[in-house]
A and B are shown apart, each in its own frame.
Chain A
Amino acid sequence: MNFWQDFLFKLVGGVTVTLKLLSITIPVSIILGIFIGVLRVYGGKIGVLIANFYVFIFRGFPLLVTMMIMFFGLADLGIMLEPFWAAATAIILCSSAYQSEYVKTAILSIEEGQSLAAKALGMSSFQEIVYIILPQAVRIALPGITNEILYMILYSSLAYVIGVSEIFSVAMTMNSIWFRPGEIFGTIALIYLLMTSVASFAFRKIEDKLRIPGFERIR
Chain B
Amino acid sequence: MKVENLRKRFGDEEVLKGISFDVMRGEVKAIMGPSGAGKSTLLKCIDLLVKPDEGRIWLEGVELTDPTVDVNKQRRKIGFVFQEFNLFHHLTAIENVMIGLRKVKKLPKDKARELAEKALLRVHIDESLWNKYPAQLSGGQKQRVAIARALAMEPSIMLYDEPTSALDPQLTGEVLQVIKELADSGMTSIIVTHEVGFALEVADELMIMVGGRIIERGRPAEVVYSPESESTKAFFRKVLRVEGTTR
Give me the interface of A with B, judged by CB distance under 8 Å. 113-114, 116-124, 127, 131-132, 135-136, 139, 212-215
| Nearest-CB residue, chain A, relative to B153 | A121
| Nearest-CB residue, chain A, relative to B104 | A122
| Nearest-CB residue, chain A, relative to B81 | A120
Residue contact B100 to A121, C-beta cutoff 8 Å: yes
Residue contact A214 to B104, C-beta cutoff 8 Å: no
**Contact among B44, B72, B90, B134 for A122, CB-based, below 8 A:** B72
> Given A121-B75, A124-B72, A127-B103, are A136 and B90 also a contact pair (CB < 8 Å)?
yes
Residue contact A114 to B89, C-beta cutoff 8 Å: yes
> Given A121-B104, A122-B153, A123-B72, are A116 and B89 also a contact pair (CB < 8 Å)?
no
Cα separation A135 to B88 with both chains bound (whole Å): 10
> Given A127-B103, A214-B133, are A120 and B78 also a contact pair (CB < 8 Å)?
yes
Cα separation A122 to B134 with both chains bound (whole Å): 21
Cα separation A184 to B86 with both chains bound (whole Å): 57
- 6 intermolecular pairs with C-beta atoms under 8 Å apart: A113-B84, A114-B86, A117-B82, A117-B146, A120-B49, A122-B153
Which B residues, 9 to 63, have Cβ-Cβ distances below 8 Å to chain A?
Answer: 44, 47, 49
Task: Looking at the assembled complex, report how far the CB atom of A110 sits from the nearest CB atom of chain B, in whole angstroms.
Answer: 9
B8 contacts the other chain (Cβ, under 8 Å)? Answer: no
Residue contact B150 to A120, C-beta cutoff 8 Å: yes
Residue contact B103 to A113, C-beta cutoff 8 Å: no
B237 contacts the other chain (Cβ, under 8 Å)? Answer: no
Task: Looking at the assembled complex, report how far the CB atom of A138 sits from the nearest CB atom of chain B, in whole angstroms.
Answer: 10
Residue contact B89 to A136, C-beta cutoff 8 Å: yes
Cα separation A120 to B76 with both chains bound (whole Å): 7
Task: Looking at the assembled complex, report how far the CB atom of A213 sits from the nearest CB atom of chain B, in whole angstroms.
Answer: 4
